[in-house]
C-alpha cells in the first residue's frame, strides 16, 4: 500500500470512527465504552449502523458474509452484523491453528475441511455450483 492510499484509508477510518462514536454517544445505544472492539470493527459496525459506505452512498448489503477468524469473537461480531443487515447468511472458518512454521498436518486438515464445508454452504446460499461462481468472476476480470 502506498503512502497516499494509507493516508486516505486512515482518514476515512478515523472519520467513520468519529461518526460512529458520536452516534453511539448521542443515541445512548452503547453507554459502555469499555467493550473491547478493535477500531476496524468499530469502523465496519459504524458503516453498517449509520448506513454510510466509505466510498459514498449507502452501505451495500452483501449476499453473504464469509469470515475467517483467529479469535472466536470475530464470528460473534459478524453474527451481529448479519442481524443488523437483516439476516445476511454467515459462514465462519476457524483458522486458529497456530503459526505456519509450526503447522501440523491435522491442523491443516481442520482448516481445509472447514473450507470444503464452506464451499457446500456457499453453493446452497448462491444457488449455483462453485465452479460457476468462479468462472463468472474469471470472465468479468
**What cell was used for 56?**
459514498
Q: What is the pLDDT of residue 137?
A: 55
The pTM of the full predicted model, rounded to 2 decimals, is 0.65
Quick one: CA dihedral 87, 32, 72, 40, positive or negative? Answer: positive
Q: What is the pLDDT of residue 61?
A: 92
For residues 81 and 139, the model is more confident at: 81
Beta-carbon contacts of 74 under 8 Å, excluding residues fewer than 6 positions away, are 67, 92
Rg (CA), the chain: 18
Which is nearest to 89 in space by CA: 46, 38, 41, 127?
127
Q: What is the pLDDT of residue 82?
A: 92
Q: What is the pLDDT of residue 16?
A: 64
Beta-carbon contacts of 65 under 8 Å, excluding residues fewer than 6 positions away, are 78, 81, 82, 88, 89, 90, 91
Q: Reduced to 3 states, what is the DSSP secondary structure of residue 97?
A: coil
Q: Estimate to the nearest angstrom the gap between the alpha carbon of 72 and the chain centroid.
A: 13
Residue 65 in contact with residue 88, Cβ under 8 Å? Answer: yes
Q: What is the pLDDT of residue 40?
A: 67
Q: What is the pLDDT of residue 34?
A: 43
Q: What is the pLDDT of residue 85?
A: 92
> What is the C-alpha separation between 48 and 42, in angstroms, rounded?
10
Residues 68-106 pLDDT 10s? 887 667 788 888 889 989 999 999 999 888 888 888 999
Q: What are the residue ranges spanned by the domains of the chain?
A: 1-60, 61-141
Residues 28-72 pLDDT 10s? 555 455 444 566 676 787 788 888 887 888 999 999 999 888 766
Helix axes 105-126, 130-140, angle to 10 degrees: 80
How much is the average pLDDT of 97-120? 90
> What is the C-alpha separation between 50 and 129, in angstroms, rounded?
35
Amino acid at each position: 500500500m502506498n503512502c497516499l492510499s494509507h493516508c486516505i484509508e486512515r482518514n476515512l477510518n478515523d472519520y467513520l470512527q468519529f461518526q460512529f462514536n458520536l452516534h453511539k454517544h448521542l443515541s445512548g445505544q452503547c453507554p459502555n465504552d469499555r467493550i473491547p472492539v478493535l477500531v476496524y470493527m468499530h469502523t465496519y459496525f459504524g458503516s453498517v449502523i449509520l448506513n454510510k459506505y466509505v466510498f459514498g452512498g449507502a452501505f451495500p448489503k452483501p449476499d453473504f458474509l464469509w469470515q475467517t477468524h483467529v479469535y472466536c469473537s470475530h464470528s460473534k461480531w459478524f453474527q451481529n452484523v448479519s442481524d443488523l443487515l437483516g439476516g445476511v447468511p454467515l459462514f465462519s472458518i476457524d483458522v486458529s491453528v497456530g503459526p505456519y512454521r509450526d503447522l501440523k498436518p491435522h491442523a491443516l486438515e481442520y482448516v481445509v475441511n472447514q473450507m470444503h464445508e464452506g464451499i457446500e454452504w456457499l453453493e446452497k446460499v448462491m444457488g449455483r455450483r462453485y465452479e460457476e461462481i468462479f468462472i463468472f468472476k474469471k470472465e468479468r476480470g
